[in-house]
Structure 1
Amino acid sequence: MNARLRLAISVIILFLLVTGPFLITAALIWADAQADERAALIRLIAPHLSLGTMMTAFGFFVGLLVIRYLFREYVQGLLKMAENLRLMLAANRNFRVTPEGPPEVRLLAVATNELAQQRDGLMDDVAAQIAAAKSSVEEEKNRLAALMSELAQAVVVCNREGRILLYNSRARLQFRALALGTTAVAGGALIGLGRSIFSILERSQIDHALDVVRQRLHKGAATAIATFITAARGGQLLRVQLVPVLATDDAPQQREMTGYVLTVENITRSLEQESRRDQVLQSLTDGTRGSLANIRVAVGNLLDYPDIEPEIRDRFMGIISDEVVRMSQRLDRTMSEFADSLKTRWPLEEVQGLDLVVAAQRRIEQELQLATANEEIDEAVWLRAESFSLVFSICFLAARLVHHHRIPELRFRLLPFGRLAYLDMIWADHAISLETFTTWENETMHLGTESSPLSLRDVIDRHGGEIWYEREKASARSFFRFVLPVALPDSLQAQAAGDEPSVRPEYYDFDLFHFRDQSIDLDRRLSDLAYTVFDTETTGLEPAAGDEIIQIGAVRIVNGRLLRHENFDQLVDPQRFLRPEGIRIHGITDDMVRGQPQIDAVLPAFHDFCNETVLVAHNAAFDMRFLQLKEDSSGVMFRQPVLDTLLLSGVLHANQDSHQLDHIAERLGVVIAGRHNALGDACATAEVFLRMLPLLAQMGIVTLRQALEASEKSYFARVKY
């Protein structure tokens, strides 16, 4: 029975107890009295009736105060304690009941805290035993997660319905680079745990590849792999390889396919390069064929007619000379274009500077018989370079020094300089002119029988570095200085994209193998749904009076896990000046929002981000009102169900004093990082919501429909914006 209803019943009973006996007694006396007795009774009571009424009302008032005190101290106090106990049991084990109220209730609170302390000790012991038992499994899982995270190839793992359950950093970066339109705003490409791969790749092609794999599995093939080429939204070509994930409890030919692994490679650039090389080779072939035909005719005439007139002979010789020049020029142009193609295809890798110097020294000593030595080498320096071309360039310069100046020894020096490294080639006595160095820098490189279509300048430019010649007059030495970018040996792709280096993004969830593609069903369990938890920062508190959104932040919850790295964080230009009082709260200034996308461009992107999920917010009516007012201008409508942690807190903790986000988070043991920042508040709301789920389950609220119905009955559901 509701506590308020019990209070009302108590008041009614008190009223009956105070007035009932007097009224019943008076009615009985009145019924037995004669007419003259009744008249005498009226004459006796009438003068004192007001006093009796006042005394009765006073007694009733005193009784109300007593009932109100007892109700507040005992009934409401015990209800509040019951809510606190649920907090300790299901949401925040570190929460303790504050002893307050009558002595009996305080003793109960103290005993409750003692039991909670004992419970925590037992839970710690059980947790330690469980951790020891599952340590090996976690080690294997973390090893697999680390391996997938560091792969240089884009990898996506899906279940049978195409829901993504794993992706690595390379896949996230690659699909973000391919994002267009609304997916290019804030959240990037629509890749995330629980999302459908068919929002990125064509479903028909994946279905066809799955059919091919099933046929090969049915035939007992040793490897069942399907490869296909598909086009991304922006027209880029992707090569996709599909490998099935099979159950382990059946015969190989009868295993059920539980999912599949996709490896994705962007081949657009390589195809363009191959097409370009084909065009260059075709142009070279066609041009050479014509020149050779002209030369063949001229040579044939000279051989067939040895006594030909000198003028005609000179004309034929001129034809031969001109065609040879044209062929040479055409060949030079082709080599130049091919060199550009080579430059675009070079992979730059992280290499230790010492290894690069040692490789160059070994080749110089073997091929040029030139002595080498190290002057000062910092072994901690790592370079981002293409090793072969850089070593070839060093050896090319060494060969030029040997050929022109017969230097007896070449020394090397490698030192860091901030984010750059200086690699010096040092020799004594012989100086060279700047004109000579410029010639060496721009000519195609040759070393013995090997040649390259590239110049030294081409190699340096491809590395994003520089090279120059210097003379040390005091020591009568000269050196070439290579200026190259440094790289850390343990740098990760994810760090380059801005991820926190100390935390590996959780891009995997193997429990999603059991997830089945379903629309948002109100009768589905809360624990089975995917959520987008969001928050907005605005210019003010009155959406209907012209206030605007200036920031939207959101995170996703999938399979009961908060995915912090799958977030949406976007500032919005409100096309108006911000209020100083608002800036003091959220810290967003006019300069920060100027030039940012406007709300009509941001809302479609946010709609794509939260597609197929339940929306969650704190005081959601406020945020949703801003979104609803932009439906006509943006053409975007949010029609999915919405859960409000404010209303849910009213359901769970009806006897608590406050339901503000800060107080709810404190009760549930959630630390808010970045308060009044849209993404920070969204993350805090998401953690609060996750800790509310077991509390709702204890109250029998386990489905989305039940949560919505309970929220509608909350007192705060009457607040309108």
Structure 2
Amino acid sequence: MKPAHRLPALMVALVFALALLAVVSVGLVTATLEPAERTAVAAVLASRAMLVVMLWLGVFALAAWGLARLFSRFVEAPARLAEEAQVLLAGGAAREVEAQGSAANRGLADTLNALVRQRSQLQQDVARQVAEASHAIEQERSRLSALMAELTQAVLVCNLDGRILLYNSRARAQFRALSSTPSTAGGAELIGLGRSIHAVFERQLVTHALDTLKQRARAGVAQPSTQFVTSTRNGQLLRVQMAAVGDVPAKSTVPVAGGLQLTGFVLMLDDITRDFEQEAMRDRLLLGLTEGSRASLGNLQAAVEMLELPDLEAAMRERFQRVVRDEVATMTARVQSLAADVLAGMKTRWPMEEMLGADLVSAAARRIEAIGPVRVSTSDVDTALWLKVDSYSLLQALVCLAGRLVDEYEVKSLQLRLKAAGPRAQLDLVWVGQAMSTETVMNWQMDAMVLRNGSGADATPLTVRDVVERHGGEFWFERERVRHEAFFRFLLPCSAGQDRPAAAHATP
């Protein structure tokens, strides 16, 4: 029964108890009196009945007041405290309970309030830790997204069922190249969150690689990985590196025997079609050179042996001399063809990349100053200009030209200038002093580049003209007679995504 319903019931019980007490008291007193005394007492009480009733009501009121006070102190206050504790236990608002009732009840209320404050503090700590963990996870996710976006390799993260969970833009471009309808679908039919990697690779191949990862994980390998090479439907060759993704054990848990528990895997894709074709072409060239040279050397050896005969007729001697000349010409043509093929591969070895022009000039200045006693000035450089260049080969060309100026013309000071010229950029290598002839400039363009370093010199089959053609640019020599300056000028492509100031297109 609820406390609110108990008090009326107790009041009714009190009425009956007082009435019963009065009846019992009257009965006991009457039993001890004689009949005459009874009659006298009854007459007295009858004349004073109202006073007796008022007295009984006074006693009842006093008893009811005391009962209500006791009920409120020892019944209602604990019941109210229990209800508020139930509300707090059910997750209600973190408010303190009101201390009422007896001293023990107020002590219990104080204890509950202390527990409420402690729980509120714990909840705040948990909320703060959850917010910090969420912020850290968001930061890690942002770092991971930025890292994957900057990777030059196609990367995909999959679960154990082969469903794609994460991929970068390089992977999107790779799958666009693998798509049978790149212009319409753009590879979306192959890659996407939740799509299966088995739409690209054979299920048996992925399953076998995954089994290998699991076996290595069970063997205790800290970072199990494997790789395989496969061909796509359009004939491309892909080298796939697979690495395991596992659960991170809690710091307080004991390591489980059996190694890493796999939850997914990471795929890193490399298109090796071009590398394979280049290796095959290189093998064919070497094989052709070997076989052709073997035959030519055999013919040369036979011709030389015949020419050593003292009694050889003039016609035969002329014939064998012609054989020697023909075989030498054949070997020369074969070697030149091989050199041309190798040179064509070297021209495209390094990719064309967007680069801040000031960074290129700064790198060139450091490389030039490292070759000898020469000072390089970079005061006249457009710091906002972006180029699309093969920085490796372009630096080689600048260092080669600067080295020849230092060695052959004893130039002590150089200047690098960079500015926009319409849709292109002008990169000048400037010096003060003796000019050179047009024939010398042509020779320097066509000679194989020789790069000086601390231990000597390195030669490369590339020429300055090859580097210029690689960039689709131009190269020439100019003189400024008024300022007594001469310079080599490279006309280079600018990055397509920048705004350039309007300027007249320079011509040699």
Q: TM-score, normalised by structure 1?
A: 0.45
State whether residues 178 and 189 of structure 1, in contact with CA within 8 Å, keep that contact through their aligned partners in structure 2: no
Which one of 370, 391, 398 corresponds to residue 395 of structure 2? 391
Deviates more, 1:333-342 or 1:183-192: 183-192
User: Where does residue 493 of structure 2 map in the other structure?
Assistant: 485
Q: Which protein has the larger Cα radius of gyration, Structure 1 or Structure 2?
A: 2
Q: Give the distance between the partners of 2:209 and 2:258, measured in 1 at CA.
A: 18
Does 2:460 match 1:424?
Answer: no
Question: Paired residue for 2:244?
Answer: 244
Q: 1:298 aligns with which of 299, 303, 325?
A: 303
Change (3 A) 1:444 1:208: same
The one-letter amino acid of 2:205's match is Q
Q: Distance in 2 between matches of 1:132 and 1:402?
A: 60
Counterparts of 2:140 and 2:128, CA distance in 1: 19
Unaligned runs of 5+ in 2: 1-125, 250-254, 498-508
Q: What does 1:185-334 align with in structure 2 at a 5 Å threshold?
A: 185-190=184-189, 191-249=191-249, 251=256, 253=258, 255-303=260-308, 305=309, 308=312, 312-334=316-338
Relative to structure 1, is the Cα distance of residues 407 and 420 closer, same or farther in structure 2, using a 3 angstrom cutoff? same
SS at match of 2:258: helix
Structure 1 Cα separation of the partners of residues 210 and 491 of structure 2: 51
1:167 match: 167
Select 2:460's aligned residue among 428, 432, 452: 452
Q: In the TM superposition, what is the alpha-carbon distance from 1:354 to its structure 2 partner? A: 4.5
Instruction: Look up the match of 2:148.
Output: 148
Shift of 1:374: 3.6
For residues 163 and 458 of structure 1, the distance between their equivalents in structure 2, rounded to whole angstroms, comes to 47
Report the counterpart of residue 471 of structure 2 in structure 1: 463
Pairwise mapping of residues 511-526 of structure 1 onto structure 2 (< 5 A)? none
- State the shift of 1:220 in Å: 3.0
- C-alpha offsets along residues 137-180 of structure 1, whole Å, 9 cap, x if unaligned? 32222222222222221110011111111001111121112221
Give the drift of 1:393: 1.2
- Contact 2:362/2:378 (8 A) holds in 1: no
| Structure 1 residue identity aligned to 2:162 | G
- 1:224 and 1:365 map into 2 onto residues whose CA distance is 46
| Pairing 1:609-624 to 2, within 5 Å after superposition | none
- CA positional deviation for 1:440: 3.7
1:209 Cα deviation (Å)?
A: 0.9
The alpha carbon displacement at 1:437 in A equals 3.8
Q: Distance in 2 between matches of 1:360 and 1:481?
A: 15
Q: Distance in 2 between matches of 1:420 and 1:205?
A: 49
C-alpha distance in structure 2 between counterparts of 1:127 and 1:334, whole Å: 70
Aligned pairs for 1:28-47 within 5 A: none
Q: Which consecutive residues of structure 1, in runs of 5 or more, have no partner in the other structure?
A: 1-125, 492-721
1:526-585 CA-partner distances (Å, limit 9, x unpaired): xxxxxxxxxxxxxxxxxxxxxxxxxxxxxxxxxxxxxxxxxxxxxxxxxxxxxxxxxxxx
1:203 deviates by 1.8
Between the aligned residues of both structures, percent identity stands at 46
Q: Any idea what the Cα deviations from partners look like across 1:97-133, whole Å, max 9, x if unmatched?
A: xxxxxxxxxxxxxxxxxxxxxxxxxxxxx99996556
- 2:419 corresponding residue in structure 1: 415
State the number of aligned residues: 362
Q: 1:281 is paired with a residue of what secondary structure?
A: helix
> Which of 345, 349, 356 is the equivalent residue of 1:345?
349
Q: Kindly tell me: are residues 321 and 350 of structure 1, through their superposed partners in 2, closer, same or farther at Cα, counting changes over 3 Å?
A: same
Distance in 1, Cα, partners of 2:317 & 2:289: 28
The whole-number CA distance in structure 2 between the counterparts of 1:189 and 1:382 is 33
- Going from structure 1 to structure 2, the CA distance change for 1:394 and 1:180 (only over 3 Å counts) comes to same
Return the offset for 1:451.
Answer: 2.5
For residues 461 and 470 of structure 2, the distance between their equivalents in structure 1, rounded to whole angstroms, comes to 14
- C-alpha distance in 1 between matches for 2:333 and 2:398: 28
Check 1:364–1:320 CA distance in 2 against 1; reply closer, same or farther (3 A cut).
farther
- Cα displacement string for residues 595-633 of structure 1 (whole angstroms, at most 9, x for unaligned residues): xxxxxxxxxxxxxxxxxxxxxxxxxxxxxxxxxxxxxxx
Local SS of the residue matching 1:221: coil
The residue that corresponds to 2:48 in the other structure is: none
CA distance in 2, matches of 1:248, 1:238: 31
- Distance in 1 (alpha carbons) for counterparts of 2:202 and 2:391: 39
Q: Deviations over 1:386-423 (max 9, x none)?
A: 33322221233335556776655432212345664321
Shift of 1:265: 1.0
**Cα–Cα, structure 1 residues 210 and 186, in superposed 2: closer, same or farther, change >3 Å?**
closer
What secondary structure sits across from 2:201 in the alignment? coil
Cα pair 1:157 1:164 within 8 Å, conserved: yes
> Structure 1 residues 187, 293: closer, same or farther in 2, change over 3 A?
closer
CA contact (8 A) 2:371 2:403 kept: no
**Distance (Å, rounded) in 2 between the aligned partners of 1:133 and 1:218:** 31
Tell me what 1:662 maps to.
none
- Return the offset for 1:136: 2.5
Change (3 A) 1:188 1:331: same
Q: Measure the CA separation in 2 of the matches of 1:301 and 1:368.
A: 55
Measured in 2, the distance between the counterparts of 1:343 and 1:390 equals: 11
CA contact (8 A) 2:179 2:186 kept: no
Residues 288/360 of structure 1: CA separation in 2 closer, same or farther (3 Å cut): farther
1:87-102 equivalent positions in 2, closer than 5 A: none
Separation in 1 of the partners of 2:295 and 2:378? 54
In structure 2, relative to structure 1, the CA distance for the partners of 1:274 and 1:140 (3 Å cut) is: same
Quote how far apart the aligned CAs of 1:216 are: 2.2
> Aligned partners of 2:177, 2:127: CA distance in 1, in Å?
43
Compute the displacement of 1:479 (Å): 1.9
Deviation at 1:229, TM superposition (A): 1.2
CA distance in 2, matches of 1:321, 1:368: 45
Map 1:61-140 onto structure 2 (within 5 A). 131=131, 134-140=134-140
2:246 and 2:406 map into 1 onto residues whose CA distance is: 63
Q: Distance in 2 between matches of 1:286 and 1:146?
A: 52
Contact 2:380 2:417 in 1 (8 A): yes
Q: 3-state SS of the aligned residue for 2:284?
A: helix
* Paired residues of 2:218 and 2:260 also in contact (CA < 8 A): no
Q: Which 4+ stretches in 1 moved above 6 angstroms?
A: 126-130
Please, what is the CA RMSD of the aligned residues? 3.4
Q: Which amino acid aligns with 2:493?
A: P
Contact 2:217 2:261 in 1 (8 A): no
3-state SS of the aligned residue for 2:462? strand
Aligned-partner Cα distance in 1 for 2:244–2:274: 28
Distance 2:416 2:140 in 1: 45
Distance in 2 (CA, whole Å) between partners of 1:185 and 1:192 is 15
Q: Does the 8 Å CA contact 1:202/1:230 hold for their aligned counterparts? A: no
Aligned partner of residue 189 in structure 1, secondary structure: coil
State the 1:337 CA deviation. 0.8
The one-letter amino acid paired with 1:177 is A
Helix, strand or coil at the partner of 1:377 = coil
Deviation per CA, 1:237-256: give whole Å up to 9, x if none.
Answer: 11111112122456262544
Q: More relative contact order in 1 or in 2 (CA 8 Å, sep 6+)?
A: 1
